[in-house]
């Protein structure tokens, strides 16, 4: 199940990526310019930093949700 979608655009490097985070802890990274899927290791430094920050936010929100579900 899809939980979050984020788009990264860097005009200087001509990057246009879509990051999709799923409930089973998987992620898909789609290069909208080249119409292909990428792995995190193939990202530029700036795109990887964006990915890392979004991943941290995703994990933090997931942990908070699990805590709230236990107390409810």
Every domain of the chain and the residues it spans: 2-71
The pLDDT tens digits of the residues spanning 10-33 come to 999 899 999 999 988 899 999 999
pTM, two decimal places: 0.83
Per the prediction, the chain carries an average pLDDT of 92
- Is the predicted pLDDT of residue 6 greater than 90, yes or no? yes
Residue that has been written with the tokens 């879509």 in this structure: 18
DSSP string, 24-66: TS-EEEEETTTTEEE-GGGS-HHHHHHHHHHHHHHHHHHHHHH
Nearest residue to 54 (alpha-carbon basis) of 24, 21, 9, 10? 21
- Report the relative pairing of strands 27-31 and 2-10 from DSSP bridges: unpaired
């Amino acid at each position: 199940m899809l939980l979050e979608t984020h788009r990264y655009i860097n005009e200087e490097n001509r990057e246009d990526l879509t990051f999709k985070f799923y409930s089973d802890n998987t992620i898909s990274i789609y290069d909208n310019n080249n119409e292909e899927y990428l792995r995190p290791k193939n990202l530029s430094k700036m795109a990887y930093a964006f990915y890392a920050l979004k991943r941290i936010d995703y994990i933090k929100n997931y942990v908070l949700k699990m805590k709230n579900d236990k107390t409810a």
